[in-house]
Amino acid sequence: MLAAMTEQQPTESRRTRAARRAGEFPPVPEPLPIPVIDSHTHLDITLAEAAAPPWNGRLDDPVAAAVSVAARVGVDRLVQVGVDVASSRWGAELARRQPAVLATVALHPNEAPRLTDLDEALREIESLAAEDRVRGIGETGMDFFRTGDEGRAAQEASFRAHIAIAKRYAKPLVIHDRDAHADVLRILDSEGAPETVVLHCFSGDAEFAAECVRRGYLLSFAGTVTFGNAAGLREAARVTPPDQILVETDAPYLTPMPHRGRPNASYLIPLTVRSLAETTGADLDELCAAISATGDRVFGPW
């Protein structure tokens, strides 16, 4: 989470000012030649943490403003991802009234172990899963980075339940996998994977990517693919066919370079797509067209 921004004081030091600026949203980048989708965003969290978003002119409807600034640079469709019952309800409601937004619903793998009544929360998620503009079940999965041994059983039970919901409603499964590649595959195999599986914020190496590609899964690349220390991730992108690639912000987190550390939002997708084109040697127009078609195939129609 980003620290709350304080009002600028006339006496603030240069260093304080620099720190505050670092929390501001980056400038709007050059538009993409062909519109793409942001396959994974958290508009609710982004707006709650927004210090000085570039859509400040439309504070009457910040969601519509965030959607329109993204559309201006060629990010004209977004997938709003739920992490708990409240955010899943919020996303489903938003998708009903905002044509550019579709929703996915789930209990985040770090959220599930904290719930006093996991079954009741899962029933809520299942009732939202039935909605037409809810087009995926996620983010669910396994996270061994933030959840310790004591939470693992609940995390796995929740993941298994989400897999079952995705299959019952024939909707894509959006997976959060942090330091848990082998266990994610083990659980998918034991439950039987749904027809469409998306690995959100893909974080594996080329070998894991090749295994996911072989299984027909979609790999969604986030701003992390632009980071200097992400050579393994770029190798993973190179072994992924264009029709299994998605891009995402995971906003407000994982802001692409050169703005790493600042808040993220869907209008920054062009930085990730350009970097991905450079990494894979793909023609930018062709990559955009492929991402757009894959997004429609997986989540669409909008």
Binding site for Zn ion (CB under 5 A): 250
Specify the residue, 45 or 290, whose C-beta has the smaller distance to Zn ion.
45
* Cα–Cα dist 99/80, whole Å: 12
Specify the residue, 177 or 250, whose C-beta has the smaller distance to Zn ion.
250
The answer to whether the CB of 268 falls within 8 A of the CB of 30 is no
Q: What is the DSSP letter of 26?
A: P
In which residue are the tokens 């989400």 written?
162
* Cα–Cα dist 164/170, whole Å: 10
Specify the residue, 152 or 178, whose C-beta has the smaller distance to Zn ion.
178
Specify the residue, 241 or 261, whose C-beta has the smaller distance to Zn ion.
261
Strand partners, 273: none
CB of 42 to Zn ion, least distance (A): 6
CB of 114 to Zn ion, least distance (A): 17
- Kindly provide the b/e burial profile for residues 98-110, where b requires at least 16 CB atoms within 10 angstroms of the residue's own CB: bebbbbbbbbbbb
Q: Which two tokens stand for residue 250?
A: 């995971």
Specify the residue, 253 or 282, whose C-beta has the smaller distance to Zn ion.
253
Specify the residue, 84 or 250, whose C-beta has the smaller distance to Zn ion.
250
The answer to whether the CB of 71 falls within 8 A of the CB of 55 is no
Q: Which two tokens stand for residue 107?
A: 């209990």
Q: Which two tokens stand for residue 82?
A: 């739920």
